[in-house]
Amino acid sequence: MTARNPRLAKIHIARKELALDDGAYRKMLHRLTGKTSSADCSDAQLDAVLEEFKAKGWKPSVVAGSAVTRPAAGKARRAAADHPVARKARALWISLHQLGVVRDRSDKALEAFARRQLQVEAFQWADQGQGYKLIEALKAMAEREGWSQDTTGYKGQAAIQLLKSRLAALIAKRQAEAAD
């Protein structure tokens, strides 16, 4: 067994554990290596693919003695997207839930929304441009509900505080209206 075989096995395990379909996998592989098959990749390219999987939330199985510890069959879960754009999308999603616009505040529901909006298998595989498209769609939903997203003249924490205070005021207004 050569040093390549364990790398190839890890790539196929990671792909399965991240629930990555064939098309998305080959697209990612081509983006990283210029090839569409891991068998055609050099050792350095295989290492780059493994690093990409790790960056997307895959954690290699831990070897304890001779047994390999893995999630139980059928229990593999896709890691939530955790880049800055994903965190912002998640914050907007939860805020829209608090406003009553979104019924299900879960990451699974956000993932389904992102899949419909961006036509990607998983939000964690979306590029920055696609992520910003999702952010803009969520902001448009907020604007339609009366939650202004304009932070002109504010930066950093001041902009965040402004958005939070507008959200709280809108929720309070809606609760007062519902009580009448």
Query: Which tens digits make up the pLDDT trace of 152-168?
Result: 999 999 999 999 999 99
Q: Which helix (H) or strand (E) holds 27?
A: helix 22-33
The reply to whether 108 and 157 lie within a common domain is yes
The reply to whether 37 and 107 lie within a common domain is no
The reply to whether 62 and 103 lie within a common domain is no
The reply to whether 88 and 175 lie within a common domain is yes
**Mean local confidence (pLDDT), 139-143:** 96
> Residue 79 domain-assigned?
no
Q: Which of 176, 81, 173 is nearest to 135 (CA)?
A: 81
Domain total in the chain: 2
| Region label for 47, one of left (φ > 0), alpha (ψ between -120 and 50) or beta (otherwise) | alpha
Whether this model's pTM surpasses 0.75: no
> Residue 106 domain-assigned?
yes
Report CA 41 to chain centroid distance, whole Å.
Answer: 27
Q: Which helix (H) or strand (E) holds 67?
A: strand 67-69
> Residue 135 domain-assigned?
yes
